[in-house]
Amino acid sequence: MSNLQPTKGSAKEAAGLRYPTNGKTIYHRPLNRTKTAELSGASFAYLFSEMVNYASKKIVSIQDLEKRLNTAGHPLGLKLLDLLLYREPARTQTRPLTIIQLLHFIKLTLWGHLFGRAADGLEKSSDPATPDEYMIIDNEPLVNRYVSVPRNMDQLNCAAFVAGVVEGVCDGAGFPARVTAHTVRQPGEEEGKEMWPGRTVFLLKFAPEVMEREGFLGKG
């Protein structure tokens, strides 16, 4: 244990960093220790509720609020990409090289790590004018479980936070993209009678250079 002791503990303490009495910080823990650990859903709900509250102070528009939630999630995605790749079995431990690989990684690994299940769907935009758009579908986003959006803000979807995480993963993997969250009703269902009233579509719009690269890879 003594060899884990930070060498200049007392000097760092004076600078304002505090160490636990046994000298073991979060960086001394093995990265896989919390792999299967679970968190309390209620404490997350309260924390997220306060995050949304904080983000909605002094906003000019709904887009502003979504932007802030997105920004809060972005660094989380960048860090999660590294952690999740590290935890993959050794032979699949390469970073995703194509859009499809990346989307599968997000749908299965990222969703599995964050929400304990895979995302409910993956689609490519059917519109020929926007070949750079892909969609990840979640029927009941965990972050929105207890959130009721007021009538006057009905275009808001608080899953913008998750969109930020996804955007962070895409950016970190070298696929710069813009990700937004939208509440979209399942086609053919009436309002108020839907099976999944909180069905959320995460729209990923990749940057032009990504599409260009993808085109070259396809030919090769």
Partner 1 sequence: MPNVSSAGRTIKHKNEGVLALIIINKAGGLIYNRTFAEGLNQLNTNDYLVLAGTFHGVHAITARLNPLKAHQGATPAGTRPEPPSGLEVLETENFRMQCFNTQTGIKFLLFTDTLQTGVNEGTMRRVYELYADYVMKNPFYQLEMPVRCDMFDRKLNSYIREINNSR
Residues at the interface with partner 1 (CB under 8 A): 42, 45-46, 48-53, 56, 146-151, 153, 158, 197
Residues 6+ apart with CB under 8 A from 114: 80, 142, 162, 165
Nearer to partner 1, 51 or 135 (CB): 51
Nearer to partner 1, 86 or 146 (CB): 146
Crossing angle for the helix pair 62-87 and 41-55, to the nearest 10 degrees: 140
Nearer to partner 1, 96 or 164 (CB): 164
Min separation Cβ 80 and partner 1, Å: 23
Nearer to partner 1, 53 or 94 (CB): 53
Min separation Cβ 51 and partner 1, Å: 8
Structural contact between residues 102 and 170, judged by C-beta atoms closer than 8 angstroms: yes
Min separation Cβ 116 and partner 1, Å: 19
Min separation Cβ 197 and partner 1, Å: 7
- Residues comprising the chain, all counted: 220
Min separation Cβ 148 and partner 1, Å: 4
Nearer to partner 1, 132 or 138 (CB): 138
Nearer to partner 1, 156 or 173 (CB): 156
Which helix (H) or strand (E) covers residue 179, if one does?
strand 177-183
Nearer to partner 1, 46 or 86 (CB): 46
Min separation Cβ 114 and partner 1, Å: 18
What is the per-residue burial (b if ≥16 Cβ within 10 Å, else e) of 84-111? bbeeeeeeeeeebeebeebbebbbebbb
CA distances from 135 to 70, 126, 148, 157, 180 (A): 17, 11, 23, 15, 10
CA distances from 68 to 33, 55, 152, 194, 215 (A): 31, 6, 19, 29, 33
Min separation Cβ 160 and partner 1, Å: 13
Q: Is 154 exposed, middle or buried (0-12, 13-18, 19+ CB in 10 A)?
A: exposed
